[in-house]
Amino acid sequence: MSPLRATSLCLLLCLSALASGCLFPVIDFEEHSTARAVSVRAQESGAYRHSSSSARALQPMAAGDRRAGSGSKEEVQAHRPSVVEPIVPAPELPERVASCHQALHQAGIRFVAVAERDAPGVRWPIRLQGPIEGVSFVAQDQSPTFAILDCRLAVTLQAWARDLRRAGVRRVEYFSMYRPNATIAGTDTISGHAHGLAIDAARFVLHSGAVVDVRGDWEGRKRGQAPCPTRPDEARPGRLLRTITCSAADRKLFQVVLTPHYNKAHDNHVHLEIKPEVSWTYVR
């Protein structure tokens, strides 16, 4: 076969392959490789993305929450992130009181240390003296006792406050953070409030002056129903409440998140508690 005929035959074969689509998988593979490289770079940069595996980590699941089969429309909806981007991982909690105090100082958070005798049960007691990331945390009855918190809770509130500020919140009114000898209602189990590791957030004041109240604005509070993710049919106040709550769950800022779906005792607030010694997150 002459070189000219061989070249012509090769050209015809290539054109035929393009027409039949047999080369498309090669193009798809290259596109997949590019997407995978972008994903790897995002992971290496420290960005966090909500995924099926992270959603399964929110255990134990709320009663009545059903997980659909892999790849179903329902599963994709259930695993969608609930917070405004970017989603970042929860901060590492300090292991020593000195480093915890230093972290607050470096963040510009004003506080005073509280004597351990004035806050029995709290490991590293402090009292805030100003806002965190532009968001004020204020006890509704302005009790100096209820305003005590463990320094590690303040570090977590700093991370949450960034989401609150992006959502337009300038003030969080809560019932308590520290309650001496507090127990879980109906049991003898010690509550996180007894250690200053929880906050019962009740009302959120926005920069516009509007007030969003858990008692009146949290929609669809059926007992046992999974509180997250956000519902597209909610009014704006209800969606804001669910978004800032579910964002805390998505980021695993708090290890215990109890909403009005949990029981009647939580009709008027959201309980957000850290447990530094565990890796799971309980959302109900």
pLDDT of residue 141: 87
Give the tokens for residue 170: 């300038």
pLDDT of residue 214: 97
Domains and CATH numbers, the chain: 97-283 (3.30.1380)
| Residues 12-44 as b or e (16 or more Cβ within 10 Å = b) | eeeeeeeeeeeeeeeeeeeeeeeeeeeeeeeee
Burial class (CB in 10 A: 0-12, 13-18, 19+), 59: exposed
The candidate with the shortest Cα–Cα distance to 156, out of 164, 167, 146, is: 164
Q: pLDDT, tens digit, for every residue of 70-93?
A: 333 232 233 344 444 445 567 778
pLDDT of residue 9: 52
pLDDT of residue 15: 46
User: Low-confidence residues of the chain, pLDDT below 70?
Assistant: 1-89
pTM of the model as a whole: 0.69
- DSSP 8-state symbol, 118: G
